[in-house]
Copies of this chain bind each other. A is one copy, B any other.
Amino acid sequence: MAPSAQTLPTSVSDEKYANVKWEELGFGFYRTDNMYVAKCKHGESFQEGSIVPYANFQISPCSAVLNYGQGLYEGLKAYRTEEGRIMLFRPDQNALRLKSGAHRLCMPYPSVDQFVSAVKQVVLANKKWIPPPGRGTLYIRPILFGSGPILGSLPVPEYTFTVFACPVGRFHQDNAGLNLKIEDKFRRAFPSGTGGVKSITNYSPVWITLAEAKAQGFSDVLFLDAATGKNVEELFASNVFIVKGNVVSTPEISGTILPGVTRKSIIELTRDFGYKVEERVVPVEDLLDAEEVFCTGTAAIVTTIASVTFKETK
């Protein structure tokens, strides 16, 4: 399990903390000191970038990302252990997912080594922003996007890969478990679309229903498949699992759900624990009939679902 968790080199001397009220830390944007930036021209490959002070980008008003949504993001976390070590959780998996998304959106991409190196550099350059053990994590956000100007036709002349980081607390504030709404109208993804990669185009289109659900008191929404509207897919930004007896089931990777890094790890872990794990089509009925439901994600970690509401039924 987690063969690629990595320990970063640290020195005790610079082990100081930023001036943060760690006990009040939520999950949101928090400006830190440094970020990583690499650029790449059309037809070339990404070369090593550099750590620069965190600042706004200069970006063309006619850039591919601003006009045509050409962008991907990743999310991973750095943890501080009780022993003072700094750990990353499987950063190579995020690198591979970014590569897959870059193919889908016609972009060049950093190599796995470059991606992991950039993440490590950003963590070390913002070390004082990593919360104390148990108080939170440093959330790391790599993004890859078309930064060059384009009007009408390909190619995009320039791409940017950047990594920044924010200290975060808990993503979900519901201590007793999440109250989920099964979304019966809006779909998140469709076959041949971008649901299987971490494209920026998957997110803002479903804010409208997430905002409505939150206004109604729900913690999150659970999307159904676009083709039939009968099977569960995933939450806004996490995968879903159901448990019945000795069987743990989760929607299979078929192009419309995100192949979560935490999802993959939980599948490996539950198998190690002796459960039978099924990656399959999961009808809504199976979820409503389950003994236990939970969701997994880098931001969400592993979170229990307390209730599920489908149409008028809770």
- Chain B residues positioned under 8 Å from A310 (CB to CB): none
Q: Is A265 an interface residue (CB 8 A)?
A: no
Contact B67 A141 (CB under 8 A): yes
Check A69/B203 contact, CB under 8 A, given A149-B29, A166-B151, A187-B193. yes
Contact A58 B61 (CB under 8 A): no
State whether A151 touches B205 (Cβ < 8 A). no
A17 within 8 A of B: no
Report the minimal beta-carbon distance from A107 to chain B, rounded to whole angstroms: 9
A299 to B146, CA, bound (A): 21
Nearest neighbor of A204 in chain B, beta-carbon distance = B70
Give Cα A187 to B192, complex, Å: 6
Contact A105 B204 (CB under 8 A): yes
Instruction: Check if A207 sits within 8 Å of B106, measured CB to CB.
Output: yes
Please tell me the number of chain A residues within 8 Å of chain B, measured between CB atoms.
Answer: 63
Interface segment among A174-182, A194-202, A272-280: the answer is A194-202
Interface residues of A in 181-229 (CB under 8 A from B): 185-187, 190-194, 199-205, 207-208, 210-211, 214, 226
B164, A152: Cβ atoms closer than 8 Å: no
Q: How far is the CA of A66 from the CA of B139 in the complex (A)?
A: 17
Asked whether A66 lies within 8 Å of B145 as measured between CB atoms, the reply is yes
Say if the beta carbon of A134 comes within 8 Å of chain B.
no
Report the separation of the CA atoms of residues A141 and B60 in the bound assembly, to the nearest whole angstrom.
13
Residue of B58, B66, B162, B214 touching A65 (CB-CB under 8 A):
B66
Instruction: Give A contacts to B, CB under 8 Å.
Output: 27-30, 35, 54, 56-62, 64-71, 73, 104-106, 139, 141, 143, 145-146, 149-154, 162, 164, 166, 168, 171, 185-187, 190-194, 199-205, 207-208, 210-211, 214, 226, 299
| 28 examples of A-B residue contacts, CB within 8 angstroms | A28-B151, A29-B62, A29-B150, A30-B151, A35-B61, A54-B61, A57-B59, A61-B164, A62-B166, A65-B65, A66-B71, A67-B143, A67-B203, A68-B203, A68-B207, A69-B200, A104-B205, A104-B208, A105-B208, A106-B204, A152-B168, A152-B299, A154-B211, A154-B214, A187-B192, A187-B193, A199-B205, A226-B226
Closest 8 CB pairs of A and B: A201-B201, A69-B200, A70-B204, A68-B203, A190-B190, A29-B149, A56-B58, A29-B151
* Additional A-B contacts beyond A67-B73, A152-B168 (16; CB < 8 A): A35-B61, A61-B162, A64-B204, A66-B200, A69-B200, A69-B204, A105-B204, A139-B151, A152-B171, A154-B210, A154-B211, A186-B192, A187-B192, A190-B193, A191-B226, A199-B205
